Structure 1
Amino acid sequence: MTTTAELPKVLRFTDPGLREQLQALPASAALIGIGTDGTAIAVDIDHAPHILVCTGTGGGSTTILRTLTAQFLHQGAHALVLDGALLSHLWAKELPTVTHRGSVAGIHDALVGLAAELKRRVDLDGDLDDTPRMVAVLDRADATLRHLTRYWETFRQEDDPKKSPAITALEDVLHAGREARIHVLYNGRVTGGLAPTTREQFATVILARVSAGTWQQLAPIAGPAPKSSAHPGRAHVVQDGTASPAQVLLMTDAEAADWLTATAAGKI
C-alpha cells in the first residue's frame, strides 16, 4: 500500500522535463500533480468541466488556481479572472487572452456577460471549432458571492429577482458550461448564495488542510477525511469518488507570466 511519504517532496515548473510533460497533455487537460506511484494526476475538462479547490490557511489554493489557469491559457484558452482580493492574480492582468476584474461591480458585470456568452455558444449548436475555450476563475469565491449579493441589494428594484443575476449566471454556467466549452475554477466551499446542487457540478475537487466537516461537505463519497499535511503542495485530488494524495505543481507568478508571454510571442 502506498503512503504520502512516497510523494515527491516538491514539484516545480522548473523541474527537468516538466514542461515537456505539460506539452504532452491533451489541449483539454492540465496537470494537477504527481501521485504516490509517481504517475501524473491530471484533469480533463472535456470530461470533468469544472474544478473546485478548497484549502485551509496556507494550503496553496491561489497557487493551484494559477497553475491550472496558466496551463489552459498556454493551450489556447481565454480566461475571465475574477480576483476579489485584487492582488492574487496580477500575473494575468496584462496577458492578451485574459480579462481581469477585481471590483464587485466589475465582477457582477463580467458574470452577467458570461451568461450572455454561454447563451451565444449554446445557440451555435456545437459549432465551436473557431471559438476558444473559456475558463472562469473565481478566487475567494464564497466571499465574492456574498459581496455580489449585497451589491445587488443596493439597486434591486421591486420587480427584479431576489437573487443576484451574477450568481444566477454562475449557476447557469456550472450547469451548461460543458456544452459551451466554458469551465469554472472555483476556490471555496460553494457557499455565498449558490444553490446546494451546484456542488455536484464539480467532478474534480482538490482539497488540502481542510476540516473533517469541510471534507464531508465537498467529498462525501470519498470516505472519511484523511490526515492533513502541512508540507507545501500536499493535497488530495478527488475524482470519480476516489481521493488520491498528490504533490501539486507549484508555479510562481513570474513563471506563469513569463511562460505565457513567451507562448503569445510564439517562442514556445
Structure 2
Amino acid sequence: MTKTALPTMLSFSAPNLREQIEALPEGTALIGLGTDGRAIAVDLDGECPHVLVCTASGGGSTTVLRSLTAQFLHQGAHALVLDPKRISHLWAKGLPTVTHRGNVAGIHDALVGLGDELARRLDLPDTELATVPRLIVSMDSANNTLRQLTRYWETFRDKDTPHTSPAVTALEAALWNGRAARVNVILDGTPATSVLGAAPHELFGTVILARVSATTWQRLAPLAGPAPKPSEHRGRVHAIQHGEDHETQAIWMTDADVVTWLTDPDETQS
C-alpha cells in the first residue's frame, strides 16, 4: 500500500475536515488521517465498543479524549467526563449534556451513579433503549484515578461492605456490558489486569498509542508487531484496530474549538 506524507498538524479548522467529521455515521468518530491517505476512525458499534488511549507525557492523550468525546456529543450523545487533574477538560464544564467531575469524591459518586444507570438501561426493552442517548464515559489519567478510588473507598468502608470500590466495579461493569446499554468508555492509561479483570486488548476495540515503551506496546498491542520508533511530531499516534497498526496524525481540537462547535456551530463554520 502506498504511503503518503502526513501533515505535521491536523487542525479542526483544516479545509473540509469539519465537513468530513460531520458526515460520519452516528457512533463513529475520526481519530485522524493515516499514511495511506485514509480516514482512521473509531466505530463504537463495531467489534468492541471502547477506546484505550495511552501516550507518554506530551503525546496527546488529552487531546484525543477531547476530540473523540466532542464528536460523539455533536452526534447527540451525553458524556461523563472524569478529569482528576481538574484542568485537562475545562471545555466540559457548563455543557448541558456533559457531567464533569474532578475530585476523587465526585468521581467516585459519578461512577457509582453510572452503575445504577447501566443497570437501568439493561432493563429497558430494545425499542426503548434505542431512543436513549449514547453515554460516553471519558476518563483521563485512569491509572492514578483508579488508585485514588481504591484508597478513597478504604477510608470509610466497613467490614460488611465489599473490598473493591463500588466505583471501580461500576467502571468494570460498563466495560463488559456497555455494548448492550449504549455506554462506551474512552479511557486514558494502562489499567492493571488486577483492577479491571482482563487484558486491555480484550476490553478495547481501538487502542491509540504514542511514545510508549516497547514493554507497554507489547502489553497493549500484542498482535500489532514490534513497537515503532517514537515520533516527535505533535499529534502523531498509532491506532491499533483488529491487530493492525495505523500510523495516524490525530485531529488537533482545542477547548475553544469544542465549545464553539457544540454551542454555536454556525460561528465555527463561518
Confirm or deny a common fold (TM above 0.5): yes
SS in 1 for 2:10: coil
SS in 1 for 2:223: helix
State the distance in 1 between where 2:162 and 2:54 align: 30
For residues 129-152 of structure 1, what are the alpha-carbon distances to aligned partners after superposition, in whole Å with 9 as ceiling and x for unaligned?
A: 321000000000110010000000
Give 1:248's aligned residue. 250
Matched, 1:9 2:11: no
1:198 to partner: Cα distance: 5.4
Give 1:194's aligned residue. 195
Given that 1:145 and 1:192 are in contact with CA atoms closer than 8 Å, whether structure 2 keeps it comes out as no
User: Across the two proteins, how many residue pairs are aligned to each other?
Assistant: 266
Question: How do residues 1-268 of structure 1 correspond to structure 2 at under 5 angstroms?
Answer: 2=2, 6-47=5-46, 48-127=48-127, 128-191=129-192, 194-197=195-198, 199=200, 200-263=202-265
User: Gapped runs of 5+ residues in structure 1?
Assistant: none
State the distance in 2 between where 1:247 and 1:52 align: 17
1:6 to partner: Cα distance: 1.8
Given that 1:74 and 1:263 are in contact with CA atoms closer than 8 Å, whether structure 2 keeps it comes out as no
* Letter paired with 2:94: E
1:224 to partner: Cα distance: 1.0
Given that 2:149 and 2:167 are in contact with CA atoms closer than 8 Å, whether structure 1 keeps it comes out as yes
For residues 99-123 of structure 1, what are the alpha-carbon distances to aligned partners after superposition, in whole Å with 9 as ceiling and x for unaligned?
A: 0011111100100110110111110
Q: From the superposition, tell whether residues 13 and 264 of structure 1 become closer, same or farther in structure 2 (CA, over 3 Å).
A: closer
For residues 226-261 of structure 1, what are the alpha-carbon distances to aligned partners after superposition, in whole Å with 9 as ceiling and x for unaligned?
A: 111011010100000101100011101111111111
* Letter paired with 1:108: H
Matched-pair identity in %? 60
**TM-score normalized with structure 2 length:** 0.94
SS in 1 for 2:26: coil
1:125 to partner: Cα distance: 3.2
State the distance in 2 between where 1:193 and 1:14 align: 42
1:195 to partner: Cα distance: 2.8
Given that 1:53 and 1:185 are in contact with CA atoms closer than 8 Å, whether structure 2 keeps it comes out as yes
State the distance in 2 between where 1:162 and 1:193 align: 13
1:192 to partner: Cα distance: 8.7
